[in-house]
Amino acid sequence: MRVFDGNRNDRQGTGAIAGHQMIPARVLIIDDHPVVRQGIKSLLSNYETFEVVGEAATGETAIDQFRSSRPDVVLLDIRLAEDSGLEVLDSILDDDPEARVLMLSSFDDHEYVERSLRAGALGYVLKGDSDAQLVSAIEAVAGGHRALSPRVAEQLVELMLSPGQPHGPEFEEVDRAILRMLSDGASNGQIASKLFMSDSTVKRRIRSIFNRLGVTRRAEAAAEAARRGLV
């Protein structure tokens, strides 16, 4: 599993020590297949550094479980039987913008990967990855780092280097409009009203913009946007 540096604030990661006691990373598993959930629970039970604190098969139960357990890591299937994993990701991050989410999927389609990472997921792994790769990814995300399945990482690099492919994230006109308003000190509500968006949509787009700019605060976004000539 390839791990990419991406520390988030000061949450303790897996293996953190309080005094002399190891604190396991608390994991919530969201997948609509009972066999998959059971398999992951069985795997993680072999490690003292993990504690499975909940599981869910639908978006509604996933949000309830997240709010009640407040896990260190959410392992989230991108395609649930009744819901979109991306919508569940949005809901979780709306509830807690600092939530650490690792997407789990059978699909290595780059659009799924890109949408997940831009929406705020810290990693993307495949159900076909080895047990060791999955464990490594969960450990990385628990520590606030980014993690990608080796196959996914390789495909992203190939895509980035392919002739005719744009290098670096693109910013649509609506993103630039949001950045201009952020630079002027507008609130989320003012942006939503001006651009005829819902508050949740504005939050998601701002989160995506921050991820692409590599910043965490509005002032940093405004400064970086000015440096890049986006505003």
Return the pLDDT at 17. 35
Return the pLDDT at 110. 76
Q: How many residues does the chain have?
A: 231
Return the pLDDT at 52. 97
Domain ranges of the chain: 2-160, 173-228
Instruction: Find all residues with CB under 8 Å of 121, minimum gap 6, and list them.
Output: 76, 89, 101, 102, 103
Per-residue pLDDT of the chain (231 residues; tens, 9 = 90+): 433 334 444 444 444 433 445 689 999 999 999 999 999 999 999 999 999 999 999 988 999 999 999 999 999 999 888 788 888 998 999 899 899 999 999 887 777 888 888 888 999 999 999 999 999 999 999 999 999 999 888 877 777 665 544 444 567 788 889 999 999 999 999 998 888 878 888 888 888 888 888 888 899 999 988 888 888
Return the pLDDT at 208. 84
Return the pLDDT at 99. 95
Return the pLDDT at 163. 53
Instruction: Find all residues with CB under 8 Å of 118, minimum gap 6, and list them.
Output: 169, 208, 211, 212
Return the pLDDT at 134. 95
Return the pLDDT at 22. 63
Return the pLDDT at 5. 39
Return the pLDDT at 113. 87
Return the pLDDT at 174. 84
Return the pLDDT at 115. 82
Fold classification of 2-160 is Rossmann fold (3.40.50)
Return the pLDDT at 77. 94
Q: 93, 99 in Cβ contact below 8 A?
A: yes
CATH architecture of 173-228: Orthogonal Bundle (1.10)
Instruction: Report which of 82, 81, 120 is spatially closest to residue 204, judged by C-alpha positions.
Output: 120
Return the pLDDT at 212. 82
